A and B are shown apart, each in its own frame.
Chain A
Amino acid sequence: MLKPSLAIVQKDLRMEFRSKESILAMWIFSLLIFVIFNFTFEVSRLVMLEIAPGLLWVAFIFSGMFGLNHSFAVERENGNLRSMALMPVTGGSIYLGKFLSVTIIMLLFETLIFPIFVIFYDLQLTATLFLLIPVILAGTIGFTSLGTILSAVSVHTRNQQILLSLLLWPLVSPIIIWSVNLTSMVLAGEILTNFLPLLIRIIAFDVIFFTISFMLFDYILED
């Protein structure tokens, strides 16, 4: 069960690291998001701190979209998606494999983006900042668990990228909203009593979306 999933992860990461320039491109792109935002909204530092959490997640989401599109474009070339349907593995383990590789890549992007963010917004590196780790993990997993299955859906259409955005953004918006809320709390250094319940809620929905997608993936592979 786990073995084929890991084979997919190995293959995906191999290809991803082979094209290092795309990782670099992604990193520069997120840098641009911060820069452009500063140009277009000349706001005071106080307001900036208020919108910074949202901005951080915008950069994360773009990197996630980038990773998803890339990961599934590769499966589409030479009919590899069809080949997966022919393999003696369950749809669930293919889903798990793609989910893992997309998540790892997105987390990697986020690790690269976060330091720029810290510098640009002059974040104080306090101890509470560590609370961001579970928040980012939970939000990212929500994004990728839905993103993986919806990429597999949209990859069958001619307009894969636009359709993925159309499907994914509204569906993932609750998780993103909560993640932004939690990120604001951490950055403001005010951990409210509803921090933990909210985090648990995100994790609960991660589990729900992952499980449903895991079960439904077989239907996506068949013709």
Chain B
Amino acid sequence: MKTLIDKIILVILLLAFLTSIFLIFAWVPPIKASNPAEQIAQRIFYYHVPSAWIGFLAFFVVFIGSIAYLWKRERKYELLSVASAEIGVLFITLVLLTGPVWAKPVWGIWWTWDARLTSSLVLWLIYVAYLMLRRYLPDGNKRANLSAVVGIIGFIDVPIVYYSIRWWETQHPKAVMASSEGGLAAPMFFVFMFSLAAFTLLYVYFMRVRYKLLVMEDSINKQIKEMEIL
């Protein structure tokens, strides 16, 4: 059921990620670090940070989809929210996995109860709970309503989680994009933006596929019902 657009996106994605691997490992100059392991590990940054950003974007879509559902009561908004929540959890999982890959050589530990790490974990837990809730409920209005409510409250909580835990000392590297000291060097910035674009496209692709699958599931269920009724 892949449309031409899906196929085109898939090809672009393939090229984009191959290019990004080339850019990250062969093209962009390594950072200046005393520790050679850190020079290598730093490259994960180009996947780690875009994953986090896309995770946020995905949860924002859950939020908007949930509001739209409660307002319009249309199935498509429910499906959109679920698809986005699943994909968001996937991306935050990537964040939680790529983080330790960097932390081990640089900090010498896989995990620490640092502000950024803890808040990402809490974020992940919120949306895993959202998905769990849906698993526990039978399909129907009730489930759509309840998960929309959690989708809304969950997203409002996101900035609060980040805000609250920032109160702690953080070892986590500064948000380089926003820092005042000039930010990233030009080639690094380029590679980062390239990677971000690739991840955004990946999100779009996943959304299209997952959403279509959910719609298909619905239509199969409908056909089964029509058969049963005869």
Query: Which residues of A does B touch, CB under 8 Å?
Result: 146, 149-150, 153-154, 156-159, 163, 166-167, 169-171, 173-175, 177-178, 181, 198, 205, 208-209, 212-213, 216, 219-220, 222-223
- Determine the main DSSP class of B at the interface with A: helix
Chain B interface residue count: which class?
Answer: 20 to 34
- Please pick, from A153, A166, A181, A213, the residue contacting B146 in the complex, using a CB distance under 8 A: A153
- A189 to B70 alpha-carbon distance, docked (Å): 48
Find out whether the CB atom of A181 lies under 8 angstroms from the CB atom of B167: yes
The answer to whether A156 and B164 have CB atoms under 8 Å apart is no
Beta-carbon contact of B125 and A156 below 8 Å: no
Sample 25 A-B pairs with CB under 8 A, ordered by A number: A149-B149, A149-B153, A153-B133, A157-B136, A163-B129, A163-B132, A163-B136, A166-B129, A166-B132, A170-B122, A170-B125, A170-B129, A170-B157, A170-B161, A173-B161, A173-B164, A174-B164, A174-B165, A177-B167, A198-B167, A212-B153, A216-B70, A219-B148, A222-B141, A223-B142
Give 18 A-B pairs besides A163-B136, A169-B125, A209-B153 with Cβ atoms closer than 8 angstroms.
A149-B149, A154-B133, A156-B142, A170-B122, A170-B157, A171-B153, A174-B157, A174-B161, A174-B164, A177-B164, A212-B152, A212-B156, A216-B152, A216-B153, A219-B149, A220-B145, A220-B149, A223-B141
Residues of A within 8 A of B164 (CB): 173-175, 177-178
Question: Closest CB-CB distance, B225 to chain A, in whole Å?
Answer: 19
Say whether chain A's binding surface is mostly helix, strand, loop, or mixed: helix
